[in-house]
Structure 1
Amino acid sequence: MTRLIASQEVGNMLNTWNLAIQKGDLSAAIEMQDDIDKAIESMEENQDILLYYQLLSFRIKLKIQNIRRNLDKPFFQRNAPDEKEEKTNKLMSYYFYFYNGIYHDYLQDYDKALSYFRIAEKKLAYVDDEIEKAEFHYKLAVLFYDLKMTFLSKYHAQIASDTFNAHETYVKRQINCRLLHALNLIDQFKYDDASDLFNEAEGMIKKIDDNHLIIHLYYNMGFLESKKGNYSDAAELYRRILSYREIEKNDLLKLRCLYELSRVGILTQSKEAIEVIDHGYSLSEQVNHEIFKVKFKLLKELVYDVTESQLNNINTLCLELEEKRVWVDLEEILVDVAKYLERRGLLQQSLDYYKRALRASQYVGKGVN
């Protein structure tokens, strides 16, 4: 008969696992997971430990942005915890709203993401751990960055950064905050300041030799080079990212990288553009990411010569993004369409898309209803 493992023993394993996830030590956390999964299967019955395990399992998926399995309903999206007087229940209620916020940010469903974060913020008093509070502010800063609400993003990122900087063992989270600060600087057109922060972060990453962080750094550096119009340098950085095996465990970053490499390929009329677009669309189907599916379809329309049916397809896809209220993506891709039409001498149609991009920009940075 197989010996049942004491739930307290598994609880200690989960605490060690949580600490690795908190510190952003994803390599160690991923290595621990197999042993923990096996321990859970052989554990004596304990619903609290099982809930803790389920929470951390989803937490690490969110950390590495790989949610291709069980994407429809993560376990705590199904029903909110019954919030009784016990502090454990109140804490689980906080996590329910916090992680749903992160999950919907991943899906680019920003209305729901911000709604969940707002509820979670009201429950932050139930969290005693200052690192967990810093994590909340960091994730909220990421959402505000995605919404192009730059000053709010910088405000919450600074709160998180101050906490992480006070703890020497949280170097990886300190790096994450620097990368986010740099992205906000790019949105303010402070390219030299952003580059300085990237260089500082690169020095920190080399000291700890972390490939998970280096691919994030290279993506952000590629984004900066693209904004500066250095498309060949940007493309080289995106290709470098795709050569790392760690990118295969990060669906969202891989999608973003393929998308930006596709955009650069179209602008430079690269022969690889169609292949990269097809790769990106295939991945977006595998992970069921609706926004990226539409975006890759749109990019493919911009590869070929203009036809009447193509113009209709472009308009239909842009309307679909408008219905999904992804204004940041729309502002960017409408400009891509306008430039494409302008290069082909369709100046009136190009002007119409520039006007649509201007309208989309009026929603950017103003939050959601």
Structure 2
Amino acid sequence: MNYWYVALKNNWVDEAEKMKSEVKQEIAIMEENQDVLIYFSLLEFRHKLMLDYLCPDAARDIEVHYEELREKTKGGKNLNGMLEYYYYFFTGMYHFRQKELLHALGYYQNAENQLNSFESDEVEKAEFYFKLSEIYYYMKQTYFSMYYANHAYKLYLKQPTYGQRRVQCQFLMTGNWLDKMNPEKALNHTNKALTDAEELKVDYLIGSSHLNIGICYNQLEELYKAENHFQKAAELYKNEKHSFLPKALFNISHVKAKQEKWIEAEDQYFKGKEWAQKFGDQEFLAKLKMIYGMYLSFDLDAVRESFEFFNKKGMFADIEEYGVIVAEFLQGKDMLHDSLEFYRRVVEARRQIQRSGIVHES
């Protein structure tokens, strides 16, 4: 089972499938052991999370598997040590994938309480720190995200087989430098990520490197360069039907709208919407609706619906980022009352971000 988990952490799909099959055969002939069966159920759920990330067409029933896991483990009750840690950790990962950020953080914090209750190796600690960095990045807790990303990266450097995770740590550092409005430093990290991803020959990581480079150039307002990298990312994601394809198409649509290429922006919007619906990606359906409402149909109610979704999911960093964009756009059209509404949303989102930082420190 431990080899199966190694394959899952490295996103080795074929190896993970092979290991899962071998474990099932071993369980079928061994004497029944409840701890082993629960460990199998936990790893099977982690397997589904991997597929949901890499091959969303193959794991559309992830919610069903989550409910099955809760039933089998009785919501984590009566588990202890390693099994309790994995239950909280994997459940946190599930809620993160659903973009239920505050819920996910609560499970991660419970997992952290269990991490030192059993003998865990450096790789497991690196994996946990990586996931913490990821959620803190999405919550715009930049200091915590950068701290855990660096900590995880240093641990992964000692592990030759964890090249993919090292690249993903570089992505987190890129995002945090962008949040600090330093796209030049962000580009250093994402260019290193691209070099490493090309050496690994992993297409979706090469695509994500181009996506991040595009986001850096977008912040620098070098829109032609941004669009070029977004297109490269979309092509690579489309070849693999990767879950990040709607994100790439959203960014292409946004950049084209900023360039006032309305027909092309609308074309990318519809492509993005089609793939987001196919993958069940509620986050990018909401973000694409925002683009359509702001630039293409000028329907402010559609934009407000997107922001209500962000608020419901605790996506305060997105409210802050896109609230400024919408407010400035409306201000440019002399719609000052509506512009002020979105500036107020930004102020409230910043309060929520500050509160979540205070809660963590306490």
Pick the TM interval, shorter chain: 0.7 to 0.9
Is residue 2:165 matched to residue 1:173?
Answer: yes
Q: 1:318 to 1:365 in 2, by over 3 A?
A: same
Alignment of 1:192 onto 2:192: no
SS at match of 2:6: helix
- Between stretches 122-131 and 135-144, larger displacement belongs to 122-131
Letter in 1 for 2:300: L
Task: Return the offset for 1:244.
Answer: 1.6
Instruction: Output the TM-score relative to the length of structure 1.
Output: 0.82
Offset, 1:51: 4.4
Secondary structure, in 3 states, of the residue corresponding to 1:134? Answer: helix
Question: Contact 2:266–2:296 (CA<8 Å) still a contact in 1?
Answer: no
Larger radius of gyration: 1
* Distance in 2, Cα, partners of 1:127 & 1:249: 38
> Which of 264, 267, 270 in structure 1 is aligned with 2:258?
267
Cross-structure match for 2:75: 80
2:14 pairs, out of 18, 23, 31, with: 31
2:155 to 163, 176, 181: 163
Q: Which one-letter code corresponds to 1:150 in the other structure?
A: T
Other-structure match for 1:202: 194
- TM-score normalized by structure 2? 0.84
Deviations 1:104-149 (A, max 9, x none): 1122111101100110000002252221111001100111011110
Once the two structures are superposed, the pairs formed by residues 195-344 of structure 1 within 5 Å of their partners are 195-244=187-236, 248-251=240-243, 253-270=244-261, 271-304=263-296, 306=298, 310-344=299-333
Cα deviations by residue, 1:48-104 (Å, 9 ceiling, x for unpaired): 6554444334324434615542232424344334435xxxx5312111110111111
Residue pair 1:77, 1:96 contacting (<8 A) in 2 also? no
Unaligned runs of 5+ in 1: 1-13
- Alpha-carbon distance change, 60 to 232 in structure 1, aligned in 2, over 3 angstroms: farther
| C-alpha distance 325-199 of structure 1, shift in aligned 2 (>3 A) | closer
Which secondary structure state, in structure 2, belongs to the residue aligned with residue 183 of structure 1? Answer: helix
Q: Deviations over 1:323-359 (max 9, x none)?
A: 4432112222223322332343434432432333233
1:61-80 residue pairs with structure 2 within 5 A? 61-63=48-50, 65=53, 66=55, 68-73=59-64, 74=66, 75-78=68-71, 79-80=74-75
Higher relative contact order, structure no. (Cα contacts within 8 Å, ≥ 6 residues apart): 1
Is 1:112–2:107 an aligned residue pair?
no
Distance 1:208 1:227 in 2: 28
> Percent of pairs identical after alignment?
25
Root-mean-square deviation (CA, aligned residues, Å) is 2.7
Match of 1:367 among 351, 356, 361: 356
Q: Distance in 1 between matches of 2:114 and 2:181?
A: 36
Spell out, residue by residue over 1:305-333, the C-alpha distance to the aligned partner (whole angstroms, 9 max, x if none).
54xxx334433443443344321122222
Which one of 68, 88, 94 corresponds to residue 103 of structure 1?
94
Alignment coverage as a number of residue pairs: 344
Structure 2 segments unaligned to the other structure (5+ residues): none
1:331–1:358 CA contact under 8 A, matched in 2: yes
Question: Partners in 2 of 1:77 and 1:248 — Cα distance?
Answer: 31
